[in-house]
Amino acid sequence: MGSPAPAVDEARRAEILGAIAAMIAEVIGEEWVREKPITADTKFSTDLEMESIELASLSEKIQARFGDTVDFPAWLSGMELDDIINLTVGRRVFYPSLLGKASTVCQIVTVGLVLLINARRGPAEWLEPLFLATGAFAVASALHYVWAAASGRHAGQAHP
């Protein structure tokens, strides 16, 4: 949980940054972008002067390249205006941790069992411990992500 990310993570980040930089250069289509080094700290608005239509086009390219593992429009829509204005190419992303995945599995199982019990009109008295366990996993996962953000570490080391 507290170990630093392995070198493979850095290589993967560099590969993703290179792919995104190529997409940005293609979307903007200007020669100066190809000559300008795009780093994780490059800002979309001030450094690249990207407009909303270009962000939309970049979003489509990201979706085409990375598929369902990245939902750029949904991620962007959850941001405040100041966050979007100051958005950098390398904005930190927290990958799913084992605890986060366990929480998701617990939630899915809980929903499935509730639906099954309701459909069969079965007894539901044993669901309360399952609800408590699901809630505990969700809270533990949230605290883990908060800890990861505060300590400057990725919540999970594996990439999608």
Domains of the chain, CATH where assigned: 7-85 (1.10.1200), 98-151 (no CATH)
Question: What does the pLDDT read at residue 153?
Answer: 60
Q: What is the arithmetic mean of pLDDT over 95-124?
A: 87
Neighbours of 65 (CB within 10 A): 14
pLDDT bucket at 91, cuts 50 / 70 / 90: low
Question: What does the pLDDT read at residue 146?
Answer: 81
Q: What is the arithmetic mean of pLDDT over 9-19?
A: 79
Quote the mean pLDDT of the chain. 79
Question: What does the pLDDT read at residue 1?
Answer: 44
Question: What does the pLDDT read at residue 134?
Answer: 92
The answer on pLDDT for 159 being more than 50 is no
Higher pLDDT, 43 or 68: 43
